[in-house]
Amino acid sequence: MVKNPYIPTAVEIISIRPESEVDYTYRLAIDLDVDNGQFVEVSIPKVGECPISVSDFGNDYIDLTIRHVGKVTNQIANLEVGDKLGIRGPYGNGFPIEEYQGKDLVIAAGGTGLAPVKSIINHFYRNPEEINSLTLLLGFRNPANILFADEIAKWEEADHIDVILTVDEGDEEWAGNVGLVTGFVEQINFTDLANKEVVIVGPPIMMKFTSLEFMKHDIKEEQIWVSFERKMSCGIGKCGHCKMDDTYICVEGPVFNYTKAKNLVD
């Protein structure tokens, strides 16, 4: 019998880690063949389903970093270690990390946009020889919203990684950068232009203006990669919700080169 693409596999939660007040990382016991940037459809029976990026993965687990914002995600907030989540996927295309080999890679992430790129960062964190340099430009709304704080600290330690961390609004204890991600683009080293690849993931407005900012520094469209978030119901090109022009974000995306992304109109 053909496998029913809509029936999830029930997977056990093996750990839950708070990242902020509303974001939690769930580690699920599943051996899944995932690419960086792909997503899975996560579900709770009788509640619903939603697409969530795989924020990290290993041989026998995947991590999902989930913000509690609606019907399904709020219900996930009530789950505990040992409970199960329905999973199907992985879906979508993921980032072409083979194209980043040996390059000066810049990853600009805004808010939860860090989740889908975290596994790439960790990949190059663990394999420094695969890359020439890695610069992270990470923006959050405020210090309380900073995700993966201990991992960011770990990346900051690494010799081959530069981290620029900024928040839109600081607070009394915050001693770091304040301001939008776009304002920090110029701090990046723009010497060997041809060897650069830029990954930008975040809210639509952030992706748009950050891309323009990089292009002002003569980064070509072909060097920029973004990841789209659109309403999804099926994740496999059937339900229509995610379509933009002739492109299904769930199938050909969510990751697009800017040359393609710029022509995708809602």
Ligand X SMILES: Cc1cc2nc3c(=O)[nH]c(=O)nc-3n(C[C@H](O)[C@H](O)[C@H](O)COP(=O)(O)OP(=O)(O)OC[C@H]3O[C@@H](n4cnc5c(N)ncnc54)[C@H](O)[C@@H]3O)c2cc1C
Judged by beta carbon, residue 144 or residue 149, the one nearer another protein is 144
Residue 170 amino acid letter: G
Report the chain's C-alpha Rg in angstroms: 18
Considering only residues 9, 48, 177, 257, which one is a binding residue for ligand X as defined by CB under 6 A?
A: 48
Residue with the CB atom nearest ligand X in the bound state: 70
Element (H, E) at 257: strand 255-257
50 interacts with ligand X by CB under 6 A: yes
Cβ contact 146:140 at 8 Å:
yes
8 interacts with another protein by CB under 8 A: yes
| Min dist. Cβ of residue 234 to ligand FES (A) | 4
User: Do the annotations mark residue 250 as ligand-binding?
Assistant: yes
The span from the CA of 215 to the CA of 87, in Å, is: 38
Element (H, E) at 178: strand 177-178
Q: Which two tokens stand for residue 127?
A: 């394999």
Judged by beta carbon, residue 17 or residue 217, the one nearer ligand X is 17
Q: Which of residues 91-120 bind ligand X (CB under 6 A)?
A: 112, 115
Strand ranges inside 29-175, DSSP E = 39-44, 48-58, 61-67, 84-91, 104-110, 133-140, 161-167
Considering only residues 31, 60, 69, 141, which one is a binding residue for another protein as defined by CB under 8 A?
A: 69
Considering only residues 221, 233, 257, 260, which one is a binding residue for another protein as defined by CB under 8 A?
A: 233
- Contact set with ligand X (CB under 6 A): 39, 48-53, 65-67, 69-74, 112, 115, 229-233, 254
